[in-house]
Amino acid sequence: MKARALIKDGVATLKASEAIDHWQKDREKIEAEDLLAFVMGEDPDPDDAIPDKRKREFLQLIDRRATGEPIPYIKGFTEFRGMELISEPGVFVPRDSSDFLAEQAIRRLRKRRAPVHVDLATGAGTIALAVANEVPKASVFGTDLSEEAIGLARRNARALGLKVRFATGDVFGGLPKRIRGTVDVITVHPPYVAKHEVDDLPDEIKDWEPVHTLTDRSKDGLGFVRQTVAEGPAWLDRKGWLLMETDPDRARDVRRVMEDGGFREVRSTKGGDLKITRVIVGRRPA
Ligand SMILES: C[S@@+](CC[C@H](N)C(=O)[O-])C[C@H]1O[C@@H](n2cnc3c(N)ncnc32)[C@H](O)[C@@H]1O
């Protein structure tokens, strides 16, 4: 069977899946091509004949994907800013949308002489590792409540040969006291879905990613944001920045929480592939 026909079959199965969110044009085609390339070890040409064994493997992976299983869990890795990150069930899947958060942190940190960066709720180490990779002079710290996440973040750092001090802890809990008042940039992609909204998420998210990675169980999804705004100033340098990733529906509320917390130069910035990710930025209160 030729690759073209096999991909067509894969696309049909994915399109029929109710577990997948069909929000992006050609998403199913992109995913089917990705899985076939994974099975083959390279991108096949559309006219290439696919051996039966590979065809069976591909169709099995398509069936797994059709149940909602995220592609990074199926493949065991994902790409983020040119890095290959190990991805496993139990830990949040790094999203392309966070590229914009990383980019804003990197831009600010490059301007400092001896930059200090903290990535809260680091998950697989996503933003912290991107900073360590692209701003080698930075001292980078990443924390997460989940031991599983920190274990995976450490494995990712080792595999990439990057130095990040990862620690478990509740919000700022895992950070060494000696960096209080010295942090140039805090990044956070928090669990921001309101408790009652979790059931409305697509199956591919709510059935596969742990609930603590999605929601802080607050009524409005702003519990983690409020705690970061309250405790963040004590960790930030005088000119330090807090950068928070959120979704368009919550951007205004996050902004208000930061302004009410005394942060200066608060702005909602829009970016990423689809220009829908919001990163709310603000400088430490005076
Ligand atoms: C949306 S995920 C983001 C992960 C990572 N920053 C990324 O973008 O790939 C949110 C993360 O917050 C962590 N988390 C949830 N509650 C926490 C808490 N109270 N303190 C620290 N981390 C927490 C979860 O374990 C999860 O890894």
* Atom 12 of ligand 1, nearest CA residue: 121
240 contacts: CB under 8 Å, gap ≥ 6: 183, 184, 185, 186, 283, 284
What are the CA-CA distances from residue 199 to residues 127, 152, 171, 203 (Å)? Answer: 27, 27, 25, 9
273 compared with 88, residue with greater pLDDT? 88
* Atom 11 of ligand 1, nearest CA residue: 121
Question: If you average pLDDT over residues 203-215, what whole number do you get?
Answer: 95
Question: If you average pLDDT over residues 67-89, what whole number do you get?
Answer: 98
Q: Could you report the per-residue pLDDT of 108-164, keeping only the tens digit for each?
A: 999 999 999 999 999 999 999 999 999 999 999 999 999 999 999 999 999 999 999
Q: Give the C-alpha separation, 152 to 198, whole Å.
A: 25
Atom of ligand 1 nearest to the CA of 101: 8
Atom of ligand 1 nearest to the CA of 122: 6
**Distance from Cα 249 to the centre of ligand 1, integer Å:** 19
**Distance from Cα 121 to the centre of ligand 1, integer Å:** 3
3-state secondary structure of 142: strand
Q: Model pTM greater than 0.85?
A: yes
Q: Give the C-alpha separation, 129 to 146, whole Å.
A: 17
